[in-house]
Chains A and B, each alone.
Chain A
């Protein structure tokens, strides 16, 4: 006997009440992988992050941890703990603050969706940081700087589009500026090392 449900998606989910655990794991892993791939595509810029609507926070968590580890690996001995903690806190607190800012400006967004988009869009910066690990210091800071600029442009693409869509016309700049600032802060932290 079918349960009396109104939405189609809820009926799909009833079917998953009994599914084997492996299915659940693979479903979530695939969803995270799809989102990471989506963020790297140029399509996400024009669609303003539409593929990230089904939010999850696993991607941002692991990206944050990976970034913290990369920066910790490069940091001088006595600062390692501080660098790690700082990056971790800045990523999460930054995403939350930017989201609150958009919400207070009257944006109609789900809090978690916004944190999800901001978190996933760190991916290009993480890749650039990873690449910088392997650059010999002889090539120097110029190449790193250029790499970070490209990554910054990439990262701000989808997230800025997502944010600006949600607030009123006259407040777009107010909503978009913190997003841009957030990614610049992270890029700057990466460059500092």
Chain B
């Protein structure tokens, strides 16, 4: 198919790459405090520690809406078609929101498919190099939602198969495909971020060694 993978750097706010080594100790302070606040407060307080509480709500909101319309389909809407359409629409909205909005706002990552002039396509995975800007509540909410979502749809898929409800089968299948794509996309972005951190650390370690020798 000619699809290539490409990992891309992005630095926010023009922070030079050598700066983090000197600023890191103070940078750890606010993040540590956020962790403590998170463990000792109620769910509303939990959201208050997030840098983007509204975005967190949306990240989980569409998922909750899709789950409710799917699980309680017989009770909320008596019509099968309305259930199906509403659930599919929520699933689609959730996919789009996570891919285009919550990813870049909560954890500073993004992935997409780029079509070049000659027609070949390339998958691009992007992440922030400056990890300190990411709030830990945001990060936890994001990754929890991201990983649990496809698991939920696998469960629903098997439930529908065992119940022999084949008219409802397209929904878990679609849910799994959409959830799985986002999970794989962002996992690839995060792998890229960890690789970059390791490379930067190695690069700086080498420079330090060379600098001390010369």
* A10→B115 CA distance, assembly (Å): 11
Interface residues of B toward A: which range?
Answer: 35 or more
Cβ–Cβ contact B114 & A7, under 8 A? yes
Let me know if B167 is at the binding interface, CB within 8 A. yes
Cβ–Cβ contact B101 & A3, under 8 A? no
Let me know if B74 is at the binding interface, CB within 8 A. no
Q: Check A17/B110 contact, CB under 8 A, given A24-B100, A58-B92, A69-B85.
A: yes
Of the 9-residue stretches B10-18, B26-34, B59-67, which lies at the interface with chain A?
A: B10-18
Cβ–Cβ contact B8 & A21, under 8 A? no
Cβ–Cβ contact B124 & A72, under 8 A? no
Render B88-131 as a binary contact track against A, CB cut-off 8 A, 1 for contact.
11001000100011001000101011111001110010100000
Which residues of chain B have C-beta atoms less than 8 A from A108's C-beta? 1-2, 119
Let me know if B187 is at the binding interface, CB within 8 A. no
Let me know if A13 is at the binding interface, CB within 8 A. yes
Dominant secondary structure at the B interface: mixed
Which residues of chain B have C-beta atoms less than 8 A from A47's C-beta? none
Q: Which of B11, B14, B81, B115 has the most CB of A within 10 A?
A: B81
Cβ–Cβ contact A113 & B115, under 8 A? yes
Render A2-23 as a binary contact track against B, CB cut-off 8 A, 1 for contact.
0111010110011001100100
A96 → chain B closest CB, angstroms: 11
Let me know if B158 is at the binding interface, CB within 8 A. no
Of the 9-residue stretches A80-88, A153-161, A183-191, which lies at the interface with chain B?
A: A80-88
Which residues of chain B have C-beta atoms less than 8 A from A5's C-beta? 8-9
Cβ–Cβ contact B10 & A3, under 8 A? yes
* A84→B88 CA distance, assembly (Å): 13
Q: Check A103/B92 contact, CB under 8 A, given A3-B9, A10-B8, A113-B121.
A: no
A15 → chain B closest CB, angstroms: 10
Cβ–Cβ contact A28 & B96, under 8 A? yes
Which residues of chain A have C-beta atoms less than 8 A from B89's C-beta? 65
Let me know if A55 is at the binding interface, CB within 8 A. yes
Choose from B1, B14, B85, B113 the contact partner of A65 (Cβ within 8 Å).
Answer: B85
Let me know if B3 is at the binding interface, CB within 8 A. yes
Choose from B9, B113, B115, B167 the contact partner of A81 (Cβ within 8 Å).
Answer: B167
Which residues of chain B have C-beta atoms less than 8 A from A21's C-beta? 101
Let me know if A37 is at the binding interface, CB within 8 A. no
Which residues in B have some Cβ–Cβ distance to A below 8 Å? 1-3, 8-12, 14-16, 80-81, 84-85, 88-89, 92, 96, 100-101, 104, 108, 110, 112-116, 119-121, 124, 126, 166-167, 170
Question: Which 8 pairs across A and B sit closest by C-beta, in order of nearness?
Answer: A110-B121, A3-B9, A1-B14, A3-B10, A81-B80, A85-B167, A81-B167, A24-B100
A-B contact pairs, 17 of them (CB 8 A): A3-B8, A3-B11, A10-B114, A17-B10, A17-B104, A17-B108, A61-B92, A65-B89, A68-B85, A69-B81, A81-B80, A81-B81, A84-B80, A85-B84, A108-B119, A110-B119, A110-B121
